[in-house]
Amino acid sequence: MALSVIGAGFGRTGTLSLKGALERLGFEPCYHMLEVVQHGFGAVWRDIAFGGKPDWDAVFSGYTATVDWPSCNYYRELADHYPDAKVILSLRDPDKWFDSCRSTIFRAMQMDHTEAPEAIRIQMEMVRKLVIQDTFGGDIDNRAHAISVYNRHNETVQKVIPGDRLLVFEASQGWEPLCRFLGVPMPADPYPRVNTTEEFQQHFKQVT
């Protein structure tokens, strides 16, 4: 099974809602950071983050789509490896994106996990390397810097992925552009809206 959809957007750009939307449209299952957490894929991604040569077919075995970190860091490699896959760049307002990251995933990344179970420690090693260091150069607290990285990433995606293969998408646009891009019927039910900042924080309190 090859990937049909590759998400190039950073986390906190509606990626979990997009995962739900893609699965609702038949592109299931869809890979997401939650898959790493729930299925113990942290060691695989830690090896990739620290320079290991990935076997993409093995990494995404059983999946038809992927969004969010960690895979969005490798959208170019994945687009080359799966030349028939379409690419979705999920976006949101840069300031709202940073505020959301700072209140959720950035906070989680900076916590002390030395006493956490091994699987969590492995996952956090990967996240700190791939996201904090490789993506943001170690500085996730500087708003201007983080937003600059975010904007530059989004600009680069739009430069390197051909326009007929790319959808630049915001969750507020709903089903219509997504379904048109993927060539599938539009559902009658509302576009998913999950993993808001409030929902993330509530879940975070329960697991920490």
Q: What is the pLDDT of residues 54-98, one digit of tens each?
A: 999 999 999 999 999 999 999 999 999 999 999 999 999 999 999
pLDDT per residue over 106-133, tens digit each?
A: 888 877 667 667 778 888 899 999 999 9
Q: Closest Cα partner for 100 from 9, 6, 166, 21?
A: 9
Taking 50 as the threshold, does the pLDDT of residue 207 lie above it?
no
Helices 197-207/94-103 angle, 10° precision: 10
Three-point CA angle 166, 175, 204, nearest 5°: 90
Q: Judging by beta carbons within 10 Å of its beta carbon (0-12, 13-18, 19+), is residue 78 exposed, middle or buried?
A: buried
Matching residue, tokens 């326009």: 163
Average of per-residue pLDDT across 42-48:
95
* Widest distance between CA atoms in the chain: 48
What is the pLDDT confidence band of residue 44, given thresholds at 50, 70 and 90? very high
> For the whole model, what pTM was predicted?
0.91
The fourth-level CATH superfamily of domain 5-207 is P-loop containing nucleotide triphosphate hydrolases (3.40.50.300)
Query: Which residues face 6 on adjacent strands?
Result: 66, 87
Domain boundaries, the chain: 5-207
